[in-house]
């Protein structure tokens, strides 16, 4: 028996793949009757894996009545409008409005059920009003709707990734409780003996730290903590004294205090520049002028104006307030480092996002290397046979926005059982 479905905002096909695996295990023949995706590199991957299918572009221009009848609608509607990584504008962002294209297709075609996936930030966006609207609209069509936030690390994928899964059925509410727990760590998916990175940055890192002590370390100048390595810890921009390191570490922490915003007369932001007078309140050193000048010249500090909050086209931004006194701030730019986190193979990876995936590193032998695209696919539970012939840059961008296949499969197991 055929199980007919459509795949909206298909990405590289993760929701589809999870549904297909679940359908086959349940004894059905999965048949995709309609696919929609607009991103060029995602289309390339879809064509590699489903070469004989026609893929439609802009879903907003598709007449729902022209879509063939189907049993299940799949949609990972764009999450950037609701995510912490985005501006969280929700329905004020055109990408947030794409949910209503899902709704109009459900109204027109009335399939037996649906599965939707999004960031868990959708639940509390606009104090919960956005999610309430979505649920009300889905229920108004006649569906019995259920949702659950699920973490991929409990579904056999070594990645900490919480997402909300919304399912609907005309027949009965789908049970999303008590999934079997399957846990794995990064050892299970990492390859060995691949080429390692050769660079000044990596040389300095390995010179200063025993490689066995790097597991789980972050490399960025935005935060402190015992698991964070800073550029001055490895003298990346020039040699630093213990006195200079102490000052940098203090500024790194103290610049986050809200009291500086009151002194400046400006809205607080996390990481404000500090004037010399502010610094003296927590670091009174007779050599302060010399230390500040030297660290600025080396590039560890920047002498800048604080930033004020401005609203442009309903988007909150920051711009320099030249009416205020300049201060010293940490030069952050963690994305300029070749890597910003070294994964611990005995644990799971953090939530993978498009902007960070190219900066993740693993220890391989006596060196460091970046994740391979195949390892990236494994971190989202794609089968080994899945084709992914794209550049590293495009591949990690696509992976950072895809879904976790085993979680989709587990949810679809329950959905299919409720529908047939």
> Catalytic residue numbers?
79
Which residues lie closer than 8 Å to 76 by C-beta, 6 or more apart? Answer: 9, 11, 14, 15, 116, 117, 118, 403
Alpha-carbon span 45 to 390, nearest angstrom: 8
DSSP 93: S
Cα angle 392, 393, 395 (rounded to 5 degrees) comes to: 60
* 8 A C-beta contact, residue 96 and residue 82: yes
State both tokens at 353.
Answer: 């996002």
DSSP 369: E
| Closest C-alpha among 416, 408, 385 to residue 161 | 408
* Rounded-to-10 torsion of CA 166, 169, 175, 176: -10
| Closest C-alpha among 182, 187, 189 to residue 155 | 182
The residue assigned the tokens 């006194």 is: 325
DSSP one-letter string for 203-263:
HHHHHHS-GGG-TT-EE-SS--STTEE-GGGTTTTS---HHHHHHHHHHHHHTT-THHHHH
**349 beta partners:** 159
Which residues lie closer than 8 Å to 241 by C-beta, 6 or more apart? Answer: none
């Amino acid at each position: 028996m055929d199980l007919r479905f459509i795949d909206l905002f298909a990405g590289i096909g993760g929701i589809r793949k999870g549904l297909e695996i679940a359908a086959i295990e349940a004894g059905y023949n999965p048949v995709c009757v309609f696919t929609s995706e607009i991103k060029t590199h995602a289309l390339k991957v879809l064509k590699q894996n489903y070469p004989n299918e026609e893929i439609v572009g802009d879903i907003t221009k598709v007449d729902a009545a022209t879509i063939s009848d189907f049993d299940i609608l799949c949609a990972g509607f764009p999450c950037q409008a609701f995510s912490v990584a985005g501006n969280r504008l929700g329905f004020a962002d055109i990408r947030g409005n794409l949910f209503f294209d899902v709704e109009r297709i459900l109204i027109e075609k009335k399939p037996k059920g649906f599965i939707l996936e999004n960031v868990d930030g959708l639940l509390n966006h606009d104090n919960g009003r956005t999610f309430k609207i979505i649920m009300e609209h889905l229920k108004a069509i006649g569906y019995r709707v259920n949702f659950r936030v699920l973490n991929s690390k409990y579904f056999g994928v070594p990645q900490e990734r919480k997402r909300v899964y919304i399912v609907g059925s005309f027949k009965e509410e789908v049970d999303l409780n008590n999934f079997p727990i399957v846990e794995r760590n990064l050892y299970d998916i990492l390859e060995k003996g691949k080429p390692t990175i050769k660079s000044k940055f990596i040389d300095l890192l390995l010179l200063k730290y025993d490689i066995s002590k790097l597991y789980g370390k972050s490399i960025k100048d935005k935060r402190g903590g015992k698991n964070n390595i800073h550029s001055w810890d490895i003298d990346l921009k020039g040699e630093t004294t213990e006195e200079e390191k102490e000052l940098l570490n203090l500024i790194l922490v103290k610049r986050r205090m809200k009291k500086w915003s009151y002194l400046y007369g400006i809205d607080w932001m996390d990481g404000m520049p500090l004037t010399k007078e502010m610094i003296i309140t927590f670091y009174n050193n007779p050599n302060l002028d010399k230390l500040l000048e030297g660290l600025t010249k080396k590039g560890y500090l920047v002498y800048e104006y604080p930033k004020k909050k401005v609203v442009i086209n309903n988007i909150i931004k920051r711009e320099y307030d030249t009416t205020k006194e300049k201060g010293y701030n940490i030069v952050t730019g963690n994305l300029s480092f070749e890597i910003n986190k070294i994964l611990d193979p005995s644990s799971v990876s953090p939530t993978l996002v498009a902007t960070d995936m190219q900066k993740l590193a693993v220890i391989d032998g006596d060196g460091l290397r970046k994740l391979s695209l195949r390892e990236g696919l494994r971190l989202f539970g794609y089968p080994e046979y899945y084709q992914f012939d794209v550049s590293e840059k495009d591949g990690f961008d696509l992976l950072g926005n895809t879904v976790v296949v085993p979680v989709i499969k587990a949810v679809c197991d329950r959905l299919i059982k409720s529908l047939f």
